[in-house]
Structure 1
Amino acid sequence: MSSNNPFGPFDFEQLKKMLEQLGLGDASQLNLEDLLAQVSRMGQAGGGAMFGMTNADRDPDAAWRTTLAAARQIAAEAGGDPELTPPERAAVVDTERLAQSWLSAVTSFQETGRPARAITRGAWLEETGDGWRAVVEPIINGIAEALQRGAAAGATEETDPLTQMLAPCCAAPPR
């Protein structure tokens, strides 16, 4: 941290690196107004709860529902979630049939026996959400534990109360 920082102990370089690591691209080109608007929309999509910061003691699934609501919002903003037309559904079935005819001859995997289906983005989120949750929650908990250890190691008299206050917000609630 630079000792000549006019904003005191706040490290904007560290914030810039964190935003870039979160996939927000070049932080020097970041439009803060757009970022705040996106965060606001995500909060509204989750019923006011943002980034899983809900009362997990009362409803441990609230954070996951908030996550799915935010994902649906982002998917809708990325081009809508139109229903598939009958010709589009037929094209998916034909494509799957063609792929199976090639794959069956060169792989040892058995066909699933289930018919091919074309679904919307929202339906895909709903149908695969439990599987993603099983993958994502251990990662979230690992990151939260690492953040807590790192924050505790670097805690000062000034930052310790903030660290203690935010620690429960980081971890995924127990189910």
Structure 2
Amino acid sequence: MTTDHTKELSPAQHQELLITLEARFKTNFSRHKGLEWDKIQRKLEASPEKLWSLSEMERTGGEPDVVGYDDKTGEYIFYDCSPESPKDRRSASYDREALESRKEHQPKNSAVDLATAMGIELLTEAQYRELQGLGEFDTKTSSWIQTPPEIRKLGGALFGDRRFDTVFIYHNGAESYYAARGFSGRLKV
């Protein structure tokens, strides 16, 4: 996978990623009933910038997989499907404003900035619950989710996890960060 930010994969990286995504697709049919890999692959090959974003999701530990199809836009929907919050996206505050508000012990990055750099979006609360309907995620970690402006304006941010076989959505100060909190993302192709 690419580690620089040229937003373009080499032919070898392109092929390696497609092999990884196809294997994950075939291993997890319950996530995408009724969808066909050949159609998805054609769409991916026609969208090199989206393929780069998927490679970033993969590189940072997200294990992206197809979870649906948007009939209105004709796009396939990918979510990070790693069992826990992607390892290389943890210890981040919610957004840039929150990061800069910390006078001491600033995290290296924010979830919103990382997602933007990768060309993906944080999951909304509804999308996070949809992901949790596909399996058990964040049983030891937690994930920042898109926070409504009225909550963010007051200094808060939302995150979710699964404990006691139940999905919980909580709040925290947006400037907080924890070794076990990252974010899961979404990409439409």
State the structure with bigger RCO (CA 8 A, min sep 6), 1 or 2.
2
Q: Structures share a fold, TM > 0.5? A: no
Q: Which has the higher strand share?
A: 2
* TM-score bin, normalised by smaller chain: under 0.3
Q: Which has the higher helix share?
A: 1
After TM superposition, the score normalised by the length of structure 1 is 0.22
